[in-house]
Chain A
Amino acid sequence: SAVISQKPSRDICQRGTSLTIQCQVDSQVTMMFWYRQQPGQSLTLIATANQGSEATYESGFVIDKFPISRPNLTFSTLTVSNMSPEDSSIYLCSAKGQNTGELFFGEGSRLTVL
Chain B
Amino acid sequence: QKEVEQNSGPLSVPEGAIASLNCTYSDRVSQSFFWYRQYSGKSPELIMSIYSNGDKEDGRFTAQLNKASQYVSLLIRDSQPSDSATYLCAVTRNTGKLIFGQGTTLQVKP
Contact = CB atoms under 8 A, between A and B. Distances in A.
A42 B102 contact: yes
Interface string B59-98: 0000000000000000000000000000010101000111
B51 to A, nearest CB: 9
A102 B88 contact: no
Interface stretch (A65-73, A81-89, A104-112): A104-112
B104 to A, nearest CB: 10
Interface of B: 32, 34, 42-46, 49, 88, 90, 92, 96-103
Nearest to B6: A42
Nearest to B45: A105
Interface of A: 1, 31, 33, 35, 41-45, 48, 92, 94, 96, 100-108
B7 to A, nearest CB: 13
A106 B99 contact: no
For the complex, would chain A's binding face be called helix, strand, loop or mixed by DSSP majority?
strand
Contacts of A1: 46
B96 A96 contact: yes
A107 B43 CA distance: 5
B92 A42 contact: no
A44 B110 CA distance: 33
Contacts of B32: 101
Given A43-B44, A103-B46, A33 B88 contact: no
A24 to B, nearest CB: 15
A43 B98 CA distance: 10
B102 A33 contact: no
15 contacts: A31-B96, A33-B97, A35-B100, A42-B100, A42-B102, A44-B100, A48-B97, A100-B49, A101-B32, A101-B96, A102-B46, A103-B34, A103-B98, A107-B42, A108-B43
